[in-house]
Amino acid sequence: MATNGISDPTRLVPVTKIDSDGNLHARTLLSPKTNTTRASIAVPPNKIIPVIVIAGIMGSNLRASTSGAARNQALKPGEAAWRPPNGKIAGLSEASKWSKRTPDIRQKILDAGTLEVDPSGDIQEIPARSNEDTCRTRGWGEIHADSYGGLLSTLEENLNSTFRVSSDGVELESAWVDINDFDRSDWGAPSGGIETVITVDELKKFAAYHYPVYAFGYNWLQSNEMSAARLKERIELIIASWVAAKRQCTKVMLVTHSMGGIVARACAKQIPEKIAGVVHGVMPALGAPACYRRLACGTESSSPGKGKLDLYAMGKFAEIAGTTPDETTPVLALSPGPLELLPTHLHPSWLFAQIKLPKDPYSVPLNFPDRSPYKFYKDFECWYRAINLALADPAGKFKDAVEEKVVDAVNQAEKFHTKLLDTYYHPNTAAFYCADPQQRSFGTYQWIATTSVAVAPPKLQTGTVNSYNFNGARNVSIVQGPSLFFEPSIQDAAGDGTVPTSSGQGPTGKVLHIFRTIGYDHQGAYKNKAMLALTQHLIVKLLQKVI
């Protein structure tokens, strides 16, 4: 930086505020005269496209409501209800805490109507061009720092720093050189498409805008319809705040993870003109059989091919989420948000009974009433039912009305899937999913019975549950047939450990670009270097259509 003819080193001072007159404000400490390093302020372009990162299910921090009539029965107002742990030590502590919580306490704590988003979560990675106050104002504390902190910081830093001045003239910042040099095979990309390198002209167009990065947390226990409405309100407030600061701002860019993609799609359907583009990461576009598994049997704590450390981590997560259906049902069965992750009406056949004979084992599809998964989710009598009503209300909150409450939650899921979302995607959308054979997922779910007696397929639709095992396994008396002991199956399909390929590839043919990738698990999608580079690349490419 040249000042009064003298070249001095500089240090970047982040802008802390833009007032109603459009003036920039920044703060810095006084330094002695001997310190010749001068403070510099990067003046952003006048045209703004905010970028909003939308977390997946369980990725938002929740606390007991601080206002309103609905009071949480287990927590004081403002007390943390759901705070995903950051780091191994915090993870062990959280697992220990949840493992001691009985089903009724879990139901009382994770009661959707008594919770709100908690903005006070950790912010671990603050970019040089920002500060904690700005990050917190933009919602970074609302979402899980360990999963999304690196993404937020990287986007804030790199999207707003494309070129630098050197002795050789103006050059690309090293981050964009690295993105252009990234091995496209790690993106599973076809040749000659959107994956081609970003040109200097494209980056010049891109650099004409400022990209402040926001985070959006939501009450993931409530219906995604409500979360989409809240996102719509947030988008309108963000745009209005920049207009009030005398900046040009009409659209936002959305970057989503997992169920956050479903929230974003429902929101974008309402205000497509205010969405510049969308990048979806590992979205369960058609739902996930893993959700059925967790309702019927508790959270899985093992997976084929996983090493000891991964299995240990899975076991600790299961302790937090609930290892048995006694622990998972009181939360999931009464919460529309999680139920909206059940396989949808668009998911291919996924539920089977497998009869393991000594010779010629066979599988039989388990039928849904009128071919409707939603009627099946409300069938509380069939032996392969998803929801055991006897486990749904251990706290006794609903008494005789518990069946009505569960039915209402399933009906909301059906409404969301079939009427509010269906096959909609914003027209300027790209997506990536993981199809890794090392990250086994439930592509189908099979109830497995070992027997020496063959059972006619129609009879396998009948039966009465005589008793349950702790892990959801069940003794079933088949009508006019044998008694069978059905055990849960293991993960059977490539995916990311949660979303199978069959659901991850759901946007194919409905979005502009889709990338089939490998090399990471579901929660770690945006901690993977290849996916982080791909996301930045896609933001630049998609925005070429609107800038």
33 pLDDT tier (thresholds 50, 70, 90) = low
User: What's the pLDDT score for residue 168?
Assistant: 73
What does the pLDDT read at residue 42?
62
pLDDT in the model for residue 8: 58
For Cα atoms 177, 182, 184, give the angle at the middle one, nearest 5 degrees: 140
What is the pTM (predicted TM-score) of this model? 0.92
CA 85 to CA 254: how far, in whole Å? 25
Lowest-pLDDT range of 37-41, 364-368, 496-500, 521-525: 37-41
The residue with greater pLDDT, 304 or 129, is 304
When pLDDT is cut at 50, 70 and 90, the band that residue 130 belongs to is confident
| pLDDT band (50, 70, 90) for residue 170 | confident
CA–CA separation, 289 and 375 (whole Å)? 16
Q: Which residues fall within 8 angstroms of residue 79, CB to CB, at 6 or more apart? A: 63, 64, 72
- Report the pLDDT value the prediction gives residue 193, as an integer from 0 to 100: 79
What is the DSSP-derived secondary structure letter of residue 37?
A: P
How far CA 540 is from CA of 21, 374, 461, in Å, comes to: 30, 40, 52
Q: Rounded to an integer, what distance in angstroms lies between the CA atom of residue 355 and that of residue 364?
A: 8
Query: What pLDDT, on the 0 to 100 scale, is given for residue 169?
Result: 76
pLDDT digits (tens, 9 = 90+) for 256-286: 999 999 999 999 999 999 999 999 999 999 9
The stretch 91-120 carries a mean pLDDT of 97
Q: Who contacts 154 (Cβ-Cβ below 8 Å, separation ≥6)? A: 532, 536
CA dihedral sign, ordered 198, 204, 206, 212: positive
206 has pLDDT over 50: yes
Helices and strands, number each (H, E), in the chain: 16, 27
Per-residue pLDDT at 469 exceeds 80: yes
Instruction: Quote the CA–CA distance of 54 and 255 in Å, as a whole number.
Output: 6
What integer is the mean pLDDT of 149-164? 96
Residue with the larger pLDDT of the pair 126 and 41: 126
Q: Using alpha carbons, list the distances in angstroms from residue 189 to 137, 282, 504, 525, 530.
A: 37, 16, 16, 17, 12
Q: Could you tell me if residue 399 is left (phi over 0), alpha (psi between -120 and 50 degrees) or otherwise beta?
A: left
Helix (H) or strand (E) holding 234: helix 224-244
Separation between Cα atoms, residue 10 and residue 4, nearest integer Å: 14
Task: Give the model's pLDDT for residue 213.
Answer: 98
pLDDT at residue 362, rounded to an integer:
93
Distant-in-sequence, close-in-space partners of 189: CB < 8 Å, separation ≥ 6: 195, 515
Number of residues assigned to the chain? 547
% of the chain beyond a pLDDT of 70: 92
Which has the higher per-residue pLDDT, 85 or 130? 85
Band the pLDDT of 18: cuts 50, 70, 90. Answer: low
Judged by average pLDDT, the poorest of 414-428, 443-457, 521-535 is 443-457
Indicate the residue type of 376: F
Check residue 313 and give its pLDDT: 94
In this prediction, residue 5 carries a pLDDT of: 40
Task: Name the pLDDT band for 10 (thresholds 50, 70, 90).
Answer: low
Residue 315 has pLDDT above 50, yes or no: yes
Q: How far is CA 294 from CA 31, 282, 449, 480, in A?
A: 58, 19, 19, 30
- The chain-wide mean pLDDT, for the chain, equals 92
Asked whether residue 397 carries a pLDDT value surpassing 50, the answer given is: yes
What distance in Å separates the CA atoms of residue 145 and residue 142, rounded to the nearest whole number? 9
pLDDT greater than 50 at residue 6: no
Write the pLDDT tens digit of every residue in 511-523: 999 999 999 999 9
List of residues 6+ apart from 359 with CB closer than 8 A:
none
360, with CB counted inside 10 A (0-12, 13-18, 19+), is: exposed
The region that residue 221 occupies, defined by phi over 0 for left and psi between -120 and 50 for alpha, beta otherwise, is: alpha
Q: Which amino acid is at 135?
A: C
pLDDT at 1 over 60: no
What pLDDT score was predicted for residue 13? 57
Task: Please determine, for residue 4, whether its predicted confidence score (pLDDT) is greater than 60.
Answer: no
Q: What is the largest CA-CA distance in the chain?
A: 97
At residue 3 the predicted structure's pLDDT band, cuts being 50, 70 and 90, is very low
Q: Residue 11: beta bridge partners?
A: 39
List C-alpha distances in Å: 124 to 52, 133, 227, 459, 504: 18, 13, 25, 56, 30
